[in-house]
Amino acid sequence: MLTDPKATKVRGVAKLTKKDARSSTGLFLLEGPQGLKEALERPRLIVELYATEEAVSRYPELFDRAESKRIQVQLVTEPVLKALSDTTTPQGVVAVCEQLDVSLDDVLEAKPTLIAFLANIRDPGNAGTVLRAADAAGADAVIFSSNSVDVYNPKVVRSTTGSIFHLPIVIDIDIETAIEKFKAAGIQVFAANGGGEQIPDLKPEVLQAPTAWVFGNEAWGFEQSTLDQVDREVAVPLYGAAESLNLATAASICLYASAFAQNTGA
């Protein structure tokens, strides 16, 4: 059992809370039992697994699955687990995993029909929630522009609640390049923007077509160059008194508008 929070091994793993360490190693931290449950569907991505005795006893089936997949559990004390986590109240489980992003060309070769593109999204919670919503809506990929938050940021990973393992993810791509590639692949590009056409006004055949939804920065939205590139600006209607919607909420509505049309044919 690891008992010293200042041990070299512990400090080495804890460095993965920082982007530089994640970039140089190709690894990231996954915290919590729900994330581990999803990661165990792709066990080869799990490099190391740390847990407290309390967590092992609380989630016996989870750790039995890990053992059945020949993943060794390194027991640690609560102080060590806290040193490995960036949260004030860790959930007793931390896994070191290999990063899993793919190229945009790989995504497009699979003929996607629904893509979520995060353009300059900086808030980790919003980014993770959009990824989770995209997973729930059956999207074929989630793409992060080069100026967006790191998808392997622990806060983003936690916000996905395991969805990070469910669909292809592309990172660090230029916005203009991505949109050009979408169009070349026959995918229409919609910017989710408050001043655009309202979703209920779009014809069913428009929503049924392969679509990449572009979601802009939480504070200032889109650069004009991006709006000049997209096929349509599309808005979520506001029927009440709220001035606007949270980015992740609006993104969920947009993605599901396409998902409903594509999956029901109406």
Please name the residue that has the structure tokens 């949109």: 179
Cα gap 132→126, rounded to integer Å = 10
Cα gap 48→238, rounded to integer Å = 47
Residue 265's pLDDT is what? 64
Residue 41's pLDDT is what? 95
Residue 89's pLDDT is what? 86
The interaxial angle of helices 124-136 and 247-264, nearest 10 deg, is 10
Residue 244's pLDDT is what? 86
Cα gap 228→44, rounded to integer Å = 42
Reported pTM:
0.94
Nearest to 160 by CA among 25, 69, 37: 37
**pLDDT below 50 — which residues of the chain?**
none
Q: What is the DSSP string of the chain?
A: -B--TTSHHHHHHHGGGSHHHHHHHTEEEEESHHHHHHHTTSGGGEEEEEE-HHHHHH-HHHHHHHHHTTPPEEEB-HHHHHHH-SSSS--SEEEEEE-----HHHHHHT--SEEEEESS---HHHHHHHHHHHHHTT-SEEEEETTSPPTTSHHHHHHHTTGGGTS-EEEEE-HHHHHHHHHHTT-EEEEEEEEEEEGGGS-HHHHHS-EEEEE-BTTTB--HHHHHHSSEEEE----SS-S---HHHHHHHHHHHHHHHHHH--
